[in-house]
């Protein structure tokens, strides 16, 4: 199970969770889950997640950042041009936010540390073949914003 989850990006997990929440569950469980979900949506609208999404000019026909429920990475294996896969992985800020949450960092730290985290991601994936989505997805899952806290001292 852990290795299967390592193949999913944060946006994949968002869409899986959203699908799970909207799937009817056995009586007694679904009401509590939906109530908790609706309480969260009253505090933070689901559309705010779009701020952490990517730009999808080719695959989504839009130049505004938003999350897009994309096809699995395997569908990109035979693509000649790198743009569709790059768009598929352009929601890297959601990975950064997830890392901040796991590290109990305040949301203000995300804005200060996001650039450093994204640069490190691209450094780690620079020499990988453009069709190697697996290693890129694994690097995205390894973003650890806590390791960049020392960067704050330089600002």
DSSP letters, 37-98, are: HHHHHHHS-GGGGGGGSEEETTTTSEEEEE---PPPGGGGTT-SSSHHHHHHT--HHHHHHH
Nearest CA among 73, 92, 90, 87 for reference residue 131: 73
Burial 12-37 (b: 16+ CB within 10 A, else e): bebeeeeeeeeeeeeeeeeeeeeeee
Report the length, in residues, of the chain.
155
Specify the pLDDT at position 57: 87
Nearest CA among 86, 146, 138, 87 for reference residue 116: 146
Specify the pLDDT at position 29: 55
- pTM for the whole structure: 0.71
Per-residue confidence in pLDDT tens, the chain, 155 aa: 567 777 778 888 888 888 887 777 665 556 777 788 888 888 888 788 888 888 888 888 888 888 888 888 778 777 788 788 888 888 888 888 888 888 888 878 888 888 888 888 888 877 777 667 777 777 887 888 888 777 666 65
In angstroms, the CA 151 to CA 46 distance is 31
- Extract the tokens encoding 101: 């949450």
Q: Number of folded domains in the chain?
A: 1
Sign of CA dihedral 69, 71, 72, 74: negative
Going by the DSSP 8-state scheme, the letter that residue 104 receives in this structure is T
Residue-range definition of the domain harbouring residue 143:
2-153
Specify the pLDDT at position 153: 64
């Amino acid at each position: 199970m852990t290795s299967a989850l390592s193949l999913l990006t944060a946006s994949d997990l968002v869409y899986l969770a959203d699908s799970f929440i909207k799937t009817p569950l056995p009586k007694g469980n679904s009401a509590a889950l939906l109530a908790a979900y609706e309480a969260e949506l009253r505090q933070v609208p689901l559309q705010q997640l779009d701020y952490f999404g990517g730009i999808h000019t080719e695959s989504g026909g839009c130049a505004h950042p938003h999350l897009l429920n994309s096809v699995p990475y395997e569908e990109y294996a035979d693509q000649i041009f790198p743009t569709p896969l790059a768009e598929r992985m352009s929601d890297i800020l959601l990975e950064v936010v997830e890392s901040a949450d796991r590290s109990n960092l305040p949301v203000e730290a995300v804005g200060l540390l996001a650039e450093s985290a994204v640069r490190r991601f691209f450094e780690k994936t620079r020499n990988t073949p453009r069709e190697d989505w697996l290693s890129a997805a694994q690097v995205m899952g390894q973003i650890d914003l806590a390791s960049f806290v020392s960067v704050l001292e330089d600002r």
